[in-house]
């Protein structure tokens, strides 16, 4: 009954929204937690409908306004956008109650919208809330089989039945769950493309895919990255003919594995589709593609294809790192030499053995692109074979 209006919350604890349970020193796991907040409305405001935005909640929620259910979401990724119909709000005090079920460390993700939108006013819902734990240590469900994780299940269930139909090509978006095993993915992804072509007896079947966008908080210092390794594995699939890759860096959300900018991703995929599937060579469909490198002293000269009107040069280039023989990467300087060539160097490394670009889960600030505005893929180059 904790969603009802007139209940005693004097023993509920304080919670300052947003943030994770762990950050708030809430030692709970696999639990049901209730959150509650009050807000005031005038008579005119109470007479209208409203939109309730509750950002991104980990994991599932049921949300009530003045004791009435206005929305529920069964897992963490979708944005919470709930309609509050006319007749639910009232003049004076109103309450929002959220019942959150979490299977692990939960929370309300930062930098997402938490507000009530009225016709002429928006009420900020961040800040002080009250909470109470309903159930701790929920039992782990047994007897459930995740068939999508079983070998051949997705192919036989969803792809094989389409093999008798004619299609123009494939657009593919996948990879997050393979972070941490990029070497395996590099081989399997190429095998998947070749096998689909074999099964359909279409050796030139166009295959266009999205490279993973940014995710997680940005690091101030060069670091290793499972996301970058996976992007590199995806980039290497371009060695297969009739493939195209849409670089989605700049379109992602650090705090959402499912980016909200679907239109931007779709646009970049469409450009590559025009080139690969429809043979349109008049358009610039992708950002700079690394073609070759040359080491001159402590300078690395990188040459790119797919530069369109040229590399965009009216900016300070960011996102490059260099390592010497100690394999310790440091931030590097970079300068555009001509329409398709860049020089990269660091005074801290006199004999570079490796160069990286955009090598991070979230390569914030990495800005290599062509004049058409399409970004370069992240990449790693070993300059000296070990």
279-338 pLDDT tens trace: 999 999 999 999 999 999 999 999 999 999 999 999 999 999 999 999 999 999 999 999
Torsion angle of the four alpha carbons 62, 68, 70, 75, in this order, in degrees rounded to the nearest 10: 10
Was domain 289-382 assigned CATH 3.40.1350?
no
Confirm if 123 and 116 have CB atoms less than 8 A apart.
yes
Q: What is the pLDDT of residue 196?
A: 96
Q: What is the pLDDT of residue 150?
A: 86
Q: What is the share, in percent, of the chain residues with pLDDT greater than 90?
A: 86
* Whole-prediction pTM: 0.85
Average pLDDT, integer, range 359-375: 96
Alpha-helical segments (H) within 102-246: 153-154, 182-200, 226-236
Was domain 13-135 assigned CATH 1.10.3720.10?
no
Q: What is the share, in percent, of the chain residues with pLDDT greater than 70?
A: 98
Domain 147-276 class in CATH? alpha beta
Q: What is the pLDDT of residue 143?
A: 63
DSSP lists the bridge partners of residue 122 as 117
Q: What is the pLDDT of residue 151?
A: 87
CATH 3.40.50.1110 domain extents, the chain: 147-276
Alpha-helical segments (H) within the chain: 43-46, 153-154, 182-200, 226-236, 262-276
Query: Which three-class secondary structure state does DSSP give residue 29?
Result: coil
* Poorest-pLDDT segment among 79-88, 135-144, 146-155, 348-357: 135-144
Q: What is the edge-to-edge ordering of all strands in the sheet holding 57-58?
A: 19-20, 107-108, 57-58
Tell me the per-residue pLDDT of 230-270, one tens digit each, with 9 for 90 and over.
999 999 999 999 999 999 999 999 998 888 899 999 999 99
Q: What is the pLDDT of residue 186?
A: 96
CA distance 101 to 169: 40
The H-or-E segment that residue 330 falls in is strand 329-331
CATH 2.60.120.260 domain extents, the chain: 13-135
Average pLDDT, integer, range 26-48: 93
Confirm if 372 and 309 have CB atoms less than 8 A apart.
yes
Average predicted confidence (pLDDT) for the chain: 94
Q: What is the pLDDT of residue 258?
A: 86
CA distance 230 to 232: 5
Number of Cβ atoms within 10 Å of the Cβ of 289: 17
Q: What is the pLDDT of residue 142?
A: 64
Name the residue with tokens 């989605």. Answer: 248
Q: Which two tokens stand for residue 282?
A: 């008049």
Residue 205 has pLDDT above 80, yes or no: yes
CATH 2.40.10 domain extents, the chain: 289-382
Q: What is the pLDDT of residue 177?
A: 87
Average pLDDT, integer, range 171-195: 94
Q: What is the pLDDT of residue 4?
A: 92
CA distance 173 to 251: 14
Q: What is the pLDDT of residue 30?
A: 87
User: Where are any strands of DSSP class E within 192-262?
Assistant: 207-210, 243-246
Average pLDDT, integer, range 41-50: 96
CA distance 200 to 166: 9
Binning pLDDT at 50, 70 and 90, where does residue 104 land? Answer: confident
Q: What is the pLDDT of residue 302?
A: 97
Q: Which two tokens stand for residue 93?
A: 């005090």
* Poorest-pLDDT segment among 197-201, 259-263, 344-348: 259-263
């Amino acid at each position: 009954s904790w969603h009802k209006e007139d209940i005693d919350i004097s023993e509920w604890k304080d919670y300052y929204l947003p943030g994770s349970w762990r950050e708030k020193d809430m030692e709970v796991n696999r639990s049901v937690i209730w959150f509650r907040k009050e807000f005031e409305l005038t008579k005119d405001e109470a007479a209208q409908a409203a939109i309730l935005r509750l950002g991104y909640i980990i994991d599932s929620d049921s949300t009530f306004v003045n004791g009435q259910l206005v929305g529920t979401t069964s897992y963490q990724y979708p944005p919470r956008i709930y309609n509050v119909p006319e007749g639910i709000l009232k003049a004076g005090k109103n309450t929002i109650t959220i019942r959150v079920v979490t299977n692990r460390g939960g929370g309300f993700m930062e930098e997402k919208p938490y507000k009530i939108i009225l016709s002429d006013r928006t009420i900020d819902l961040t800040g002080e809330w009250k909470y109470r734990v309903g159930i701790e240590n929920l039992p782990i469900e047994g007897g459930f089989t995740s068939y999508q994780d079983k070998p051949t299940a997705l192919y036989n269930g969803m792809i094989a039945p389409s093999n008798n139909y004619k299609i123009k090509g494939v657009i593919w978006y996948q990879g997050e769950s393979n972070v941490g095993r990029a070497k395996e993915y590099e081989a399997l992804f190429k095998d998947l493309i070749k096998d689909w072509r074999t099964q359909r007896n279409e050796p030139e079947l166009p295959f266009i895919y999205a490279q993973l966008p940014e995710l997680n908080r940005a690091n101030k210092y060069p670091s290793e990255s499972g996301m970058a390794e996976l992007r590199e594995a995806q980039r290497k699939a371009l060695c297969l003919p009739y493939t195209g890759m849409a670089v989605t860096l700049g379109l992602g959300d650090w705090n959402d594995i499912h980016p909200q900018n679907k239109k931007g991703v779709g646009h970049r995929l469409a450009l590559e589709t025009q080139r690969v599937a429809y043979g349109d060579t008049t358009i610039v469909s992708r950002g700079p593609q690394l073609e070759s490198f040359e080491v001159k002293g402590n300078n690395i000269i990188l040459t790119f294809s797919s530069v369109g009107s040229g590399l965009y040069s009216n900016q300070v280039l960011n996102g490059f790192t260099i390592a010497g023989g100690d394999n310790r990467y440091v931030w590097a300087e970079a300068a555009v030499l001509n329409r398709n060539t860049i020089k990269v160097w660091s005074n801290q490394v006199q004999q570079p053995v490796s160069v990286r670009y955009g090598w991070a889960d979230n390569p914030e600030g990495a800005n290599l692109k062509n004049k058409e505005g399409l970004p370069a893929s992240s990449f790693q180059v070993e300059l000296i074979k070990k």
